[in-house]
Amino acid sequence: MDSIVREKIVTAANYDPLPVVLHEAKGVWASDRAGKRYLDMMSAYSAVSLGHGHPRILAAMADQAARLAVTSRAYHTELLGPFLETLVSLTGLEMALPMNTGAEAVETAIKAARRWGYRVKNISKDRAQIIVAENNFHGRTTTIVGFSSDPSYRDDFGPYDGGFRSVPFGDAQAVAEAITPETCAVLIEPIQGEAGIVVPPDGYLRDLRAVCDRHNVLLILDEVQSGLGRTGRWFAYQHDGILPDGLILGKALGGGVYPVSAFVATREVMAVFTPGSHGSTFGGNALAARIGSEALAIIADENLVERSAALGQYMKDRLRGIRSNFVTDVRGKGLWVGVEVDPAVVSARLVCDALLAEGILSKDTHGTVLRFAPPLTITREEIDWGMERVERVFGRALH
């Protein structure tokens, strides 16, 4: 039976994958069973930022899995402390709480912000409010989709618990006007990924930092996609020279092979957690800590942050130089670029299908944006190979 048909019979239809069955992958390349190669320009939404099957990640994973993998946090290991020490040092923050997925880390941040609001800011019980941005994407749990502005994420999944107020993205003044004495935190993505690689105005994070300081409100940044070199800095907030109170990380932290995430914050924020107040059976296990440590070391050792900055600008320039009758905008930072297409001319999904035929793995979002986010290990020559094929597709009259 055909693999796609077989999958559809037994798999819930919560995704609409491109019609390709991947069999193997190495570095920035994936291939199907027939041997056709594809340049991976998605890297699993930044989860494969180090490329597929990085030899150092695989070696660390095999060694640690054979030695000690999962014991739960009921016991100590030799690995969790060094891993989180590196993480807090890189971020400039003080403490970290390990989880598995990005959504779990977001939920952790929400719990921390609310408890901080009650225990430190003295907000009345069950009245804490968190300000979020319109068109946000922070995950798929019921709490998170409850404050989404996208109907497809939230329809018929209620009732929702409330406690969130949404304002336009990129507008620090709107945040200031939305703050009340019951506001405990502002939770935003520095660059909105699922919304279409939407980059806010310069200085937005600096303005948010000032607003939050003025009103005694936590600034929490979701960098699950934008963090760990994706935008040409270790973390996107560094472009504005600020430090958040809390930072949410994931995806690339797992080296492309294992779910690893973390909420990193100031000691004051983390002090609200006490034994039994939060937990995760798999979060911070020895295997996760070993892989996370190796992923951070690889990013530093291979200068992937600097490569992302330089090659990202090169890729963006190449895309902006392509003449097309349907491309209306090219935007992004580092190796994270969104290409807006005119839906009156062609759907972004149709363009993705055409790119697939040329050997390019991309993915559309909201029917109007193509995303290009290759592994940070990509070379200039591999970008050129991809851009030649992108140019062929963009130059066609697609219908």
Q: Give 125-173 pLDDT, tens digit per residue.
A: 999 999 999 999 999 999 999 999 999 899 999 999 889 999 999 999 9
Could you tell me which of 178, 175, 180, 161 has the C-alpha nearest to residue 121? 180
Cα–Cα distance for residue pair 319/180, rounded to 1 Å:
43
Helix extents (H) in 216-346: 267-270, 286-301, 304-320
Per cent of the chain over pLDDT 70 is 99
Q: Which pLDDT score is estimated for 11?
A: 95
pLDDT in the model for residue 161: 82
SS3 248: strand
User: Which amino acids are annotated catalytic?
Assistant: 137, 222, 251
Please give the model's pTM, rounded to 2 decimal places. 0.97
CA dist., res. 384 & res. 390, Å (int)? 10
Question: Could you give the domains of the chain?
Answer: 3-54+303-394 (3.90.1150.10), 55-301 (3.40.640.10)
Q: Is the pLDDT of residue 10 over 90?
A: yes
| DSSP assigned state of 124 | P
Handedness of CA 279, 281, 286, 291 (dihedral sign): negative
The residue assigned the tokens 């995430």 is 261
Residue pair 388/359 in contact by the 8 Å Cβ criterion: no
Please, is 155 exposed, middle or buried when counting C-beta atoms within 10 Å of its C-beta (0-12, 13-18, 19+)?
Answer: exposed
- Nearest Cα neighbor of 24 from 45, 53, 60 is 53
334-386: pLDDT as tens digits: 999 999 999 999 999 999 999 999 999 999 999 899 999 999 999 999 999 99
Question: What per-residue confidence (pLDDT) applies to 396?
Answer: 81
Band (397; pLDDT cuts 50, 70, 90): low
Provide the 10 A C-beta neighbour count for residue 206: 15
Model confidence at 314: pLDDT above 90: yes
In this predicted model, what pLDDT tens digit does every residue of 268-297 receive, in sequence order?
999 999 999 999 999 999 999 999 999 999
Say whether pLDDT at 399 is over 90.
Answer: no
Taking residues 298-306, what's their average pLDDT? 98
Using one digit for the tens of pLDDT, what is the confidence trace for 87-118? 999 999 999 999 999 999 999 999 999 999 99
Q: How far apart are CA 35 and CA 38, in angstroms?
A: 10
Following DSSP, what letter does each residue of 153-175 receive, concatenated? Answer: HHTT-------EEEE-TT-HHHH
Q: Decide if 376 contacts 304 (C-beta within 8 A).
A: yes
d(CA 162, CA 115): 16
Quote the CA–CA distance of 316 and 167 in Å, as a whole number: 29
Instruction: Say if residue 9 is exposed, middle or buried (CB neighbours under 10 Å; 0-12, 13-18, 19+).
Output: exposed
The answer for residues whose C-beta is within 8 angstroms of residue 27's C-beta and 6 or more apart is 51, 52, 53, 375, 377
φ and ψ at residue 303, rounded to 5 degrees? 50, 45
Mean pLDDT of 44-57: 98
Task: Kindly indicate the confidence band of residue 242, based on its pLDDT and cuts at 50, 70 and 90.
Answer: very high
Average pLDDT score over residue span 30-46: 97
**Contact present, 192 and 133 (Cβ < 8 Å):** yes
Q: How far is CA 139 from the centre of its chain?
A: 10
Query: 3-class SS at 291?
Result: helix
